[in-house]
């Protein structure tokens, strides 16, 4: 690399990259995901390396199935793209324990991510192992492989102050350790302004064109490692999408202001947090609002709009990478950025004003700039792209019910036994143990069991149970009867408190408390010291003194009985006695099972679990993740209702579906759905610049159904001044009578079609002097 760009094959390169995690999809999905990224104009696929999937037990390695990192990288290479490998091995990534295997927590005298010998030893061993594996497979660029850059650590600056002088020492050590591995390609650290030479410091964020302090040495290029395409969803929140226009504006500004030459979208495809891999309170669906959605489908205009942006930037890569840079003001909130060589020139005209469309004069030519937009001028005179004008196709995604699992006779239930005998507990102690130290993060569940002797008094006084926990959910049972539940939230206080009246019998009573983690933490300093689980339990009988139970004899059971027996698998399902479901709907701590047939065809498949509460779900023994639909977002909707089942998990018939439900729900209302893009729409103005990847001189509406589908009907078509957009539309005062027939003829029965926005196509100008556009809405089947 040099101060302008990464150097690939001897020359500077303008690179667009997309983050995609091999662990969050299946190997069967990889080729198509990568192909769609390539078609979207990407040059690079960026991924983290996930230590805890590769070394779940110290010294035992796993690179199989969706953890086959080498296969993933080879697939990227086969499609002609490069790889940015973020080895970490701390990665955060909304991933269980930030990517660290939990056994690291139990290494004697360890402190994570600082100048600590036990930690550095394990980190160096793992990083070295990954680098050696990549070298053995010939995957680094100098060996003819696709890896052109690697990352060590991850956003360390955020926690560095907590470690005092150990922080900077650790940064220097990590840098030297990485460079010493001699990969032949550059290393980077993200959000680390003082990354030691030759490590490149890079930016993560929403607006790196405004926030990035810039490379810390003239020999380093400006790289943006994470341009967040949306916000990852958490349980209890509604999904917040980032607009396509905003993403494009941010990319263009970074290139213009910071001489940016590498931008990576985080995420380009988010995928699915299978099993228990999501971190605290993070939903199973990950970055569904990315250019490729959770299922790998393209339906937001983001994918197409960014593809246009990539083409516009690449058209002028020569002046961007080799030209002289200058800038000047065009107005109070307008600026110009110019890159010029002797022969080539490109300009970025920036308008920060969110409301006005000012006309600016640049090199004697007037340009009208859209509100909060950047116009890219090829040869410094022709507009080839405007960030705020989206000509790319919109789509709408629908989930269609193909099977309702409402036949009560096909379901079976198993009541999870509530542990009540302390003498049978594997672990006991006269104290409240920390949750993760007991479970080793192998399960979300830890039972705390205690005996309480009750002497009733005559006045029929109330008995109050109070339990405080630093886990995420707490369920309480008294003599195996359910008495209540409380849960926290991602941004709420760390302490949750259950206060409930209970009825006790005279003599011995058993209080069984189920502590639940909805994912382990993925960030913060001193993660190894974080403490979870029940901290305090007391009983209050009327006016009597508070009876604190913390130092009584507690029994512990790690995990649920059904989990330990693996009753979610075909092989072990019969190891317990399943019964008819009868009255067991809406029953806490209950396992349910049934079978279903796979939907016909290639559409993505998902379960709608809206009728359930909280738990985990398995299909043919594969966990498709946690669900939590009872925790409603402010809109009143669950944060996630649909749960993705990858095609590869299914067989044609007799697919075993097993759920464990903690709170209570009705499995008879679960449905199997296919998810697809049913409507596509385009709206393009006659004054728009023609798309760069088409040959025509007119702008055009381009529509395309997903693979395997074709345009079956035209819902709306108007050339003139149609009102509205892709969601609400109607004809305006000007409308060409031929609109519908022209579009039908061009599109019906085809997978895709394009219609030029020009009067000649529609039998002449329907209303001279009025600015016209074409809006088309079509159905895909």
Report d(CA 67, CA 275) in Å as an integer: 13
Q: Kindly report, residue by residue over 289-306, the tens digit of the pLDDT.
A: 999 999 999 999 999 999
Query: What is the sign of the dihedral through the CA atoms of 525, 529, 534 and 537?
Result: negative
**402 and 427: one domain?**
no
Instruction: List, in order, residues 6 or more apart from 593 with CB less than 8 Å away.
Output: 411, 412, 413, 414, 573, 578, 656, 657, 658, 659
For the entire predicted model, the pTM comes to 0.96
Instruction: List, in order, residues 6 or more apart from 200 with CB less than 8 Å away.
Output: 1, 149, 186, 187, 188, 189, 215, 220, 221, 223
723 lies in a domain? Answer: yes
Cis peptide before 198 (omega within 30 of 0): yes
**652 and 712: one domain?**
no
* Residue matched to tokens 């009540």: 420
Task: Find the CATH number of the domain harbouring 166.
Answer: 3.20.20.80
282 lies in a domain? Answer: no
The 3-state DSSP class for residue 41 equals coil
The 3-state DSSP class for residue 247 equals helix
Instruction: List, in order, residues 6 or more apart from 113 with CB less than 8 Å away.
Output: 90, 119, 153, 156, 159, 163, 170, 525
**710 and 774: one domain?**
yes
Q: How many CA atoms lie within 13 A of 174 on its CB side?
A: 34
Instruction: List, in order, residues 6 or more apart from 215 with CB less than 8 Å away.
Output: 3, 200, 201, 221, 222
**268 and 162: one domain?**
yes
Catalytic residues: 155, 226
Phi, psi of 715 (to 5 degrees): -80, -35
In this structure, the number of other CB atoms found within 10 A of the CB of residue 627 comes to 26
Q: Kindly report, residue by residue over 123-175, the tens digit of the pLDDT.
A: 999 999 999 999 999 999 999 999 999 999 999 999 999 999 999 999 999 99
Secondary structure E strands in 442-533: 445-454, 463-469, 473-478, 481-487, 496-502, 507-516
Indicate the angle between helix axes 117-136 and 69-78, nearest 10 degrees: 40
What are residue 282's DSSP bridge partners? 234
Sort strands 187-190 and 147-152 into parallel, antiparallel or unpaired.
Answer: parallel
**94 and 144: one domain?**
yes
**721 and 758: one domain?**
yes
Please tell me the predicted confidence (pLDDT) of residue 727: 87
Instruction: List, in order, residues 6 or more apart from 372 with CB less than 8 Å away.
Output: 245, 249, 351, 352, 353, 354, 388
pLDDT band at 699 (very low <50, low <70, confident <90, very high): very high
Q: DSSP state, 50?
A: -
The rounded radius of gyration (Å) of the Cα atoms in the chain is 29
**438 and 515: one domain?**
yes
**589 and 494: one domain?**
no
Report d(CA 216, CA 225) in Å as an integer: 16
Task: Find the CATH number of the domain harbouring 507.
Answer: 2.60.120.260
Angle, vertex CA 206, rays to CA 287 and CA 278, nearest 5 = 30
- Joined together, the tokens standing for residue 89 give 């091995």
Q: Kindly report, residue by residue over 161-212, the tens digit of the pLDDT.
A: 999 999 999 999 999 999 999 999 999 999 999 999 999 999 999 999 999 9
Report d(CA 89, CA 68) in Å as an integer: 17
689 lies in a domain? Answer: no
The arithmetic mean of pLDDT across residues 303-311, rounded, is 97
Region for 236 from its dihedrals, namely left if φ exceeds 0, alpha if ψ lies in -120 to 50, beta otherwise: left
**104 and 245: one domain?**
yes
**628 and 504: one domain?**
no
Domain boundary among 523, 555, 587: 555
Assess contact for 560 and 414: CB atoms under 8 A. Answer: no
286 lies in a domain? Answer: no
Burial of 308 (0-12, 13-18, 19+ CB in 10 A): buried
Please tell me the predicted confidence (pLDDT) of residue 689: 86
Please tell me the predicted confidence (pLDDT) of residue 725: 87
Q: What percent of the chain stands above pLDDT 70?
A: 100
Query: What is the sign of the dihedral through the CA atoms of 378, 383, 387 and 390?
Result: negative
**638 and 757: one domain?**
no
Secondary structure E strands in 135-291: 147-152, 187-190, 200-205, 223-228, 262-269
**Nearest C-alpha neighbor of 555 from the set 427, 452, 419:** 427
Secondary structure E strands in 488-549: 496-502, 507-516, 534-541, 547-548
CA 708 to chain centre: 26
In this structure, the number of other CB atoms found within 10 A of the CB of residue 44 comes to 25
Sort strands 752-756 and 700-704 into parallel, antiparallel or unpaired.
Answer: antiparallel
Query: What is the number of residues in the chain?
Result: 781
Assess contact for 390 and 370: CB atoms under 8 A. Answer: no
Instruction: Sheet with 534-541: list strands edge to edge.
Output: 496-502, 463-469, 534-541, 547-548
The arithmetic mean of pLDDT across residues 216-229, rounded, is 97
N- to C-terminal Cα separation, the chain = 48
Q: What percent of the chain stands above pLDDT 90?
A: 95
- Find the DSSP H helices in 259-395: 302-315, 317-322
Report d(CA 268, CA 291) in Å as an integer: 5
Domain housing 739? 694-780
Q: DSSP state, 292?
A: B
Report d(CA 519, CA 437) in Å as an integer: 14
Task: Tell whether the model's pLDDT for residue 696 goes beyond 80.
Answer: no
**Nearest C-alpha neighbor of 31 from the set 289, 286, 269:** 269
**385 and 403: one domain?**
no
305 lies in a domain? Answer: no
Cis peptide before 267 (omega within 30 of 0): yes
Q: Kindly report, residue by residue over 711-749, the tens digit of the pLDDT.
A: 999 999 999 999 988 889 999 999 999 999 999 999 999
The 3-state DSSP class for residue 249 equals helix
Domain boundary among 521, 555, 589: 555
Please tell me the predicted confidence (pLDDT) of residue 542: 85
Report d(CA 573, CA 560) in Å as an integer: 14
pLDDT band at 458 (very low <50, low <70, confident <90, very high): low
Query: What is the sign of the dihedral through the CA atoms of 384, 221, 146 and 129?
Result: negative
- Joined together, the tokens standing for residue 544 give 């009597």
Report d(CA 513, CA 448) in Å as an integer: 5
Sort strands 15-20 and 44-48 into parallel, antiparallel or unpaired.
Answer: parallel
Task: Tell whether the model's pLDDT for residue 314 goes beyond 90.
Answer: yes
Average predicted confidence (pLDDT) for the chain: 96
Burial of 282 (0-12, 13-18, 19+ CB in 10 A): buried
Report d(CA 583, CA 308) in Å as an integer: 57
In this structure, the number of other CB atoms found within 10 A of the CB of residue 247 comes to 23
280 lies in a domain? Answer: no
Report d(CA 134, CA 136) in Å as an integer: 6
Query: What is the sign of the dihedral through the CA atoms of 18, 24, 30 and 33?
Result: negative
Please tell me the predicted confidence (pLDDT) of residue 583: 83
Task: Find the CATH number of the domain harbouring 763.
Answer: 2.60.120.740
284 lies in a domain? Answer: no
- Joined together, the tokens standing for residue 737 give 């009578």
Sort strands 187-190 and 200-205 into parallel, antiparallel or unpaired.
Answer: parallel
Q: DSSP state, 255?
A: H
727 lies in a domain? Answer: yes
Cis peptide before 416 (omega within 30 of 0): no
**Nearest C-alpha neighbor of 413 from the set 655, 238, 668:** 668
Please tell me the predicted confidence (pLDDT) of residue 1: 87
pLDDT band at 459 (very low <50, low <70, confident <90, very high): low
- Number of domains composing the chain: 5
Indicate the angle between helix axes 244-258 and 302-315, nearest 10 degrees: 20
Domain boundary among 555, 589, 621: 555
């Amino acid at each position: 690399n040099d101060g302008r760009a990464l150097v690939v094959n001897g020359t500077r390169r303008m690179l667009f990259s997309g983050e995609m995690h091999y662990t969050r999809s299946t190997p069967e999905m990889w080729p198509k995901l990568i192909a769609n990224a390539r078609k979207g104009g990407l040059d690079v696929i960026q991924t983290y390396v996930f230590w805890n999937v590769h070394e779940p037990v110290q010294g035992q390695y796993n690179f199989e199935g969706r953890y086959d990192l080498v296969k993933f990288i080879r697939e990227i290479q086969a499609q002609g793209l490069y790889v940015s490998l973020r080895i970490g091995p701390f990665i955060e990534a909304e991933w269980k324990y930030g990517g660290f295997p939990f056994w690291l927590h139990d290494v004697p005298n360890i402190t994570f991510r600082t100048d600590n010998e036990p930690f550095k030893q394990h980190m160096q061993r793992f990083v070295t192992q990954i680098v050696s594996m990549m070298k053995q497979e010939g995957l680094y660029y100098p060996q003819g492989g696709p890896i052109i850059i690697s990352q060590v650590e991850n956003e360390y600056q955020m926690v560095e102050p907590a470690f005092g002088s150990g922080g900077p020492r650790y940064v220097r050590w990590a840098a030297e350790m990485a460079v010493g591995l001699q990969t032949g390609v550059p290393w980077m650290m993200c959000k680390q302004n003082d990354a030691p030479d030759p490590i490149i410091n890079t930016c993560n964020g929403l607006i790196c064109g405004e926030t990035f302090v810039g490379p810390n040495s003239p020999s380093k290029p400006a790289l943006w490692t994470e341009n967040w395409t949306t916000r990852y969803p958490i349980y209890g929140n509604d999904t917040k999408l980032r607009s396509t226009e905003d993403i494009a504006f941010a990319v263009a500004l970074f290139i213009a202001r910071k001489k940016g030459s590498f931008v990576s979208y985080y995420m380009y495809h988010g995928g699915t947090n299978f099993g228990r891999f999501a971190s605290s309170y993070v939903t199973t669906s990950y970055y569904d609002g990315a250019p490729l959605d959770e299922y790998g489908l393209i339906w937001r205009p983001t994918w197409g709009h960014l593809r246009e942006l990539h083409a516009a930037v690449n058209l002028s890569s020569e002046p961007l990478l080799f030209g002289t840079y200058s800038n000047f003001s065009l107005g109070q909130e307008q600026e110009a950025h110019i890159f010029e060589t002797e022969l080539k020139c490109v300009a970025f005209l920036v308008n920060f004003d969110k409301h006005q469309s000012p006309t600016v004069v640049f090199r004697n030519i007037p340009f009208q700039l859209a509100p909060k937009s950047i116009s890219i001028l090829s040869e410094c005179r022709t507009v080839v792209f405007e960030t705020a004008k989206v000509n790319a196709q919109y789509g709408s995604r629908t989930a269609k019910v193909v099977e309702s699992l409402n036949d009560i006779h096909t379901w079976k239930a198993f009541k999870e036994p509530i542990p009540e005998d302390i003498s049978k507990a594997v672990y006991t102690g006269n104290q409240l143990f920390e949750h993760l130290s007991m479970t080793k993060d192998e399960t979300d569940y830890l039972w705390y069991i205690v005996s309480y002797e009750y002497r009733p008094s005559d006045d029929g006084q109330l008995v109050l149970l109070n339990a405080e926990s630093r886990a995420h959910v707490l369920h309480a049972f008294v003599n195996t009867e359910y008495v209540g539940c409380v849960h926290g939230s991602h941004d709420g206080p760390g302490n949750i408190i259950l206060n409930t009246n209970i009825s006790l019998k005279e003599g011995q009573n058993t209080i069984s408390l189920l502590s639940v983690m909805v994912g382990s933490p993925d960030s913060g300093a001193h993660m190894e010291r974080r403490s979870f689980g029940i901290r305090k339990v007391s009983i209050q009988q009327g006016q009597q003194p508070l009876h604190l139970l913390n130092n009584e004899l507690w029994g512990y059971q790690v995990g649920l009985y059904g989990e330990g027996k693996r009753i979610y698998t075909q092989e072990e399902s019969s190891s317990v006695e399943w019964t008819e479901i009868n009255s067991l709907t809406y029953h806490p701590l209950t396992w349910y099972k049934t079978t279903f047939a796979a939907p016909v065809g290639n559409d993505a498949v998902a379960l709608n679990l809206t009728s359930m509460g909280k738990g985990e779900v398995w299909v043919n023994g594969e966990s498709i993740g946690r669900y939590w639909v009872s925790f409603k977002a402010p809109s009143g909707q669950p944060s996630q209702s649909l749960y993705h089942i990858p095609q590869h998990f299914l067989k044609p018939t007799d697919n075993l579906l097993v759920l464990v439900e903690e709170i209570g729900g009705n499995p008879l209302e679960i449905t199997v759905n296919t998810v697809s893009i049913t409507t596509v729409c385009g709206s393009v103005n006659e004054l728009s610049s023609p798309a760069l990847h088409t040959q025509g001189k007119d702008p055009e509406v381009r529509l395309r159904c997903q693979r395997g589908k074709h345009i079956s009907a035209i819902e709306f078509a108007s050339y003139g001044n149609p009102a509205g957009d892709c969601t609400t539309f109607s004809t305006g005062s000007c409308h060409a009578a031929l609109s519908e027939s022209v579009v039908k003829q061009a599109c019906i029965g085809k997978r895709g079609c394009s219609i030029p926005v020009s009067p000649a196509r529609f039998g002449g100008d329907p209303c001279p002097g009025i600015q016209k556009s074409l809006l088309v809405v079509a159905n895909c089947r």
